Amino acid sequence: MFSICLRYTKNQEDAEDVFQQAFFLIYKNLFQLKDVEALSGWIKRIVVNEAIEFTKRKYYLRVVEPMDASLNLLPDNAEGVLSQMSTDELTNLIQQLPTGCREVFNMYVIDGFSHKEISEKLNISIGTSKSQLFDARKILKMKISINKRSAIKTVS
């Protein structure tokens, strides 16, 4: 659950705050759990919702800077680069995304929310959700490409 908190926040300290608040809410509302079989999903949903609420409170302005269209190019062997990256490296790249992009990317790609659900949760339009996801992917592609180049230079 802590890794979820890290994905939605920019640093360890904020992730710890979200984690602590989420488990306070879990403890406080445990009596509402009807099906013990659904415990892990119920806990995950509370952690995700608390992370979203935290970022809303802390980073209320969501502006994505326009990026050069040339950054949209996927590295030739992106899958190979991704398979060589550790979970910590990927989490670090996600943490570096602008807040709006990070939230939408996490919710859509990792947690499986639809654009409609994201728009309702974050109080943004569906188009904004799609745009933020597009920008997040573009930024991650660029960062993966940079990692690929620096890895090649290190090996040489």
The model's confidence at residue 151, banded by pLDDT at 50, 70 and 90, is: low
The mean pLDDT value for 114-137 works out to: 93
Question: What six digits make up the tokens of 115?
Answer: 């654009």
Q: Which residues contact 67 (CB under 8 A, 6 or more apart)?
A: 135, 138, 139, 142
In this structure, which amino acid lies at residue 72? N
Q: What is the mean pLDDT of the chain?
A: 80
* Assessment of whether the complete model's pTM goes beyond 0.75: no
Question: What six digits make up the tokens of 88?
Answer: 């910590």
DSSP helix, strand, coil percent of the chain (3-state; round to 5): 80, 0, 20
Measured CA to CA, the distance from residue 16 to residue 29 in angstroms comes to 20
